[in-house]
Chains A and B, each alone.
Chain A
Amino acid sequence: MKSKYALEGLKVVDFSWVFTGPIVTKYLGDHGAEVIKIESATRPDGTRLMTPFKPGAMGLNASGVFANYNSSKYSININLREPRGKEVVKKLVQRADIVLETFGPGVMTKLQLNYDVLKQVKQDIIMLSMTMVGQTGPHSQQPSFGQVLQATNGFVQLLGWPDRTPSLPVAAYTDYIAPWYVLIALMAALDFRRRTGKGQYIDLAMLEASVHLAAPVVMDYTVNGTIQNRMGNRNPGYAPHGVYPGKGEERWIAIAVASDEEWQALCKVMGNPEWTKSPKFDTLLHRTENQDELDKLMGQWTKNHTPEEIMAKLQAAGVAAGVLQNAEDMVDKDPQLKLRQHFVELDHAEMGKHLTERPPFKLSKTPSEPQRPFPSFGEHTEYVCKEILKMGDAEFADLIGTGVLA
């Protein structure tokens, strides 16, 4: 069977909300899977209420971040507390491959929709629960959110200046680690099911996954007893290695030099000023020892040029340099991102034009593509019931009338 998209035919029931889970199901949907996003009239996905909104648009269908993370999905509104709402969910699960949820531990059990229940409905279902710290353990019941939780995982400690309070990654950094692990686990579980016929329940913890991205730092402690600290922009093995002011307001250039050969090339581009000939800077070792002074002198050169100009010249000479791009640079100007069509403009019936991102990987034969813009709140309740579940008109009208569906 040849299909245009890699995941055609795959069916996903998606209880997830906010960032992590929706990013996962966007990836699946953009690769052709059918994703049914379950919301309820009393509990829309909170990201629908997150800034920035489309100017002039109001309500639940105007959030830029929501729009980005929810392309290619159907949205159905089900009241999960109603027994007949649960029945609709079970009908969806019966024909699904994957169930994803990101509630706190115990919520699916309270809703009587946990793995034990859903396994009875679909024996080989793959169900994944993603939580902050896992389904079990002394911290598992603490409410939290990514922006605060990222501090737990060791990343905040590693960002900023050693003589100052650590800095906060603006977006919750660990919210952008968990989705990839969830996707990896789901795709691997599908392979396991194909070979063995078995589904499974997976309890995936954001905290545990994140620690792997700091493994060398963590092992420096578990093995050597050394607690690593943030180093500003220093990086052993490089000098210079820093961010320097360019011409213009908030324009910066990053430069990283790993060898004496690269250093010579950098000096040439700078016009071989007298100070570069000092023995303080002639070897990587010496430059490492005199980095504060080196950074100052570098900055005096960079501030007279635009970062774009410096990047072009240094890269042509083989020296690593890059503009500190802002959103305007990336969305409107960056030729590399344009070529790879990282940002895609979509038109939504209510919100109008907005951006969604493509995954950072291109599959040469089955590239991803947003199948349609994000769903308005409850947009597909009727479609999902009548077209997908083949529900009769009378039953559908009754479920709407009694508030089970909306």
Chain B
Amino acid sequence: MAKQKEKPAMLDRYRVLDLTDDRGAFCGKIMAELGADVVKVERPGGDPSRNIGPFYKDIPDPEKSLSWFAFNQNKRGITLNIETKDGQEIFKRLARKADFVIESFKPGYLDKLGLGYAALSKINPKIILTSITPFGQAGPYSTYNSPDLVTMSMAGYALICGDSDRPPVRFSSDQSYYQSSLQATVGTLIAHYHREMSGEGQHVDVSMQESMIWTLCYAPHDWYLLHQIIHTREGAYWKRLGVTYRLIWPCKDGYVCYRLLMAQPGAEVMNDLIASMNKEGLGLSMKDISWTTLSFTEVPQEQINQWEVEIGKYFLRHTKRELHEEAIRQRNVLQPVNDAKDLYESPQLASRDFWVQIRHPELRASLTYPGPYFRSTETMWQKGKRAPLIGEHNDAIYGKELGLTKEQLAILKRENVI
């Protein structure tokens, strides 16, 4: 696809005040890439999530966190201590003109400071406040301490991941934070649609646990309809209707993901794979099988296992790229198990100009970021600038916008308000 011409953003320059840490930063980032003016409000000294790695050149430094960069791209940044009276007054002045506030504090924290939804909606009835927490604003677990591992566990996700002979595992990545940030953005924009129709703002209360439950697919229904817990941890395998299939297969340089296709439209492509195997003297017994009409409830598990051994031998002789390219030619469904390097080198992503460069003048470098996930006839994903430095836009917001004098700013700084 040719380079896109400059087009406008989908969202207007709506003002978003982003009070989140790493649990909610992704929400504001999505708003920013759609065109909103997202102002990150950090405590003086910076948001503690600036200390989460990985770091640029592996140097731990609050101005070098790649996680921070990734989830705060295209935002502006100010520092403000909202636990002080002056800080609260300044925040209220900002909220008066803001369209959205996003936060991920413990439930009740903003209320205690006089900055909860009740207070903000008095100042600005149109405001939308979005709160992202592990279990929601109220209820018996709402005060629980719950980093990603605990939320993944309470959401039933961890239990079904991993190998049967070891404890369940989570993704080595805080997926519950990102999933709930996405859901929070959905809820926020639905509330925004309503506001533009009715003039009414509201409070959006997001639960990370429920966000992850949304990814479970069958499990709740297996229980409700059949009173069965069907999925346990099967590692590289998948069990359904009493049949176990291999899904992750070792190959020459890593792994590929593939499932034996049987008894379904499109299963005829199995014959092309088997023809390739036959050329190397493998899978000779698999010739002339009518894969589309085969009934997999009638094929014994041992037969499936035996076929899988043959296919496994073939995969071991080839790289994931070779196998993927062959699958594309044969219109088969096999995919490589990609790591970050494979993604970066993906011809598909390259063909759509997915990767973008963002300049970091302080590092004297341009860093490569994931880019647009949609293409539109009228609008455009906004790359914007690198994430803000600590307090980078204090002058622009406090001075130019709120009209605080240099003297006032100096006092606020001395008092550790900004």
Contact = CB atoms under 8 A, between A and B. Distances in A.
A331 B223 contact: yes
A22 to B, nearest CB: 12
Contact of A361 (B1, B149, B204, B221): B204
Given A188-B10, A337-B210, A360-B180, A233 B149 contact: yes
Best-surrounded residue of B166, B172, B215, B354 (most CB of chain A within 10 A): B172
A381 interface: no
A148 B258 contact: yes
B344 interface: yes
A250 B197 CA distance: 50
Nearest to B14: A191
A260 B336 CA distance: 42
Nearest to A339: B139
B250 interface: yes
B374 A204 contact: yes
A207 B370 CA distance: 11
A3 B225 contact: no
Nearest to A223: B367
A51 B240 contact: yes
A165 B235 contact: yes
Interface in A114-173: 115, 133-145, 147-161, 164-173
B285 interface: no
A146 to B, nearest CB: 10
Given A153-B338, A222-B355, A180 B328 contact: no
B218 A65 contact: yes
Interface string B339-379: 11101100111011011000000000001111111111111
Interface string A203-215: 1110111011111
A241 to B, nearest CB: 6
A363 B204 contact: yes
Contacts of B115: none
Contacts of B209: 336-337, 360
B320 to A, nearest CB: 9
A148 B334 contact: yes
A41 to B, nearest CB: 16
A231 B370 contact: no
Contacts of A187: 186, 189-190, 192-193
B interface, how many residues as a size bin? 35 or more
Contacts of B349: 207-208, 211
Interface in A186-208: 187-192, 194-196, 198-205, 207-208
Contacts of B178: 212-213
A389 interface: no
B416 interface: no
Interface stretch (B84-92, B226-234, B271-279, B405-413): B226-234
A221 interface: yes
A180 B347 CA distance: 26
A249 B415 CA distance: 56
Interface stretch (A76-84, A320-328, A393-401): A320-328
B210 A342 contact: yes
Interface stretch (A85-93, A268-276, A278-286, A351-359): A351-359
Interface in A211-252: 211-224, 226-238, 241-245, 250, 252
Max count, chain A CB within 10 A of own CB: residue among B10, B69, B221, B352: B221
Interface stretch (B38-46, B140-148, B288-296, B298-306): B140-148
Contacts of B222: 52, 64, 327
B150 interface: yes
A136 B339 contact: no
A222 B367 contact: yes
Interface in B143-184: 144-156, 158-163, 166-173, 175, 178-180, 182-184
Contacts of B370: 208, 211-212, 215, 218
B338 A167 contact: no
Contacts of B198: 1-3
A325 B173 contact: no
B215 to A, nearest CB: 4
A335 B341 CA distance: 43
Contact of A133 (B163, B189, B337, B348): B348
A184 interface: yes
Contacts of B158: 243, 252, 254, 324
B70 A223 contact: no
B336 A152 contact: yes
A61 B127 CA distance: 42
B281 to A, nearest CB: 26
B350 to A, nearest CB: 8
B210 A241 contact: no
B187 interface: yes
A319 interface: yes
A107 interface: no
A246 to B, nearest CB: 11
Contacts of A234: 172
Given A136-B351, A191-B11, A363-B190, A143 B150 contact: no
Contact of B338 (A152, A164, A190, A326): A152
A301 interface: no
A134 B229 CA distance: 36
Contacts of A222: 340, 344, 355, 367-369
A40 B218 CA distance: 25
B54 A220 contact: yes
Given A68-B221, A145-B333, A202 B374 contact: yes
Contacts of B34: 184, 188
A341 to B, nearest CB: 10
A215 B70 contact: yes
Nearest to A127: B377
A328 B135 CA distance: 18
B339 A154 contact: yes
B162 A161 contact: yes
B286 interface: no
A110 interface: no
A315 B378 CA distance: 50
A63 to B, nearest CB: 8
A167 B161 contact: yes
Contact of A320 (B150, B192, B340): B150
B149 A254 contact: yes
A259 to B, nearest CB: 11
Nearest to B52: A237
A151 B136 contact: no
B215 A256 contact: no
21 contacts: A51-B218, A65-B218, A68-B221, A148-B333, A150-B257, A151-B335, A152-B335, A152-B336, A157-B338, A167-B162, A167-B248, A184-B186, A202-B376, A219-B369, A227-B340, A230-B169, A250-B159, A336-B209, A337-B213, A339-B140, A363-B194
Which A-B residue pairs are the 6 nearest by beta carbons? A64-B221, A361-B187, A171-B217, A360-B210, A151-B257, A221-B340
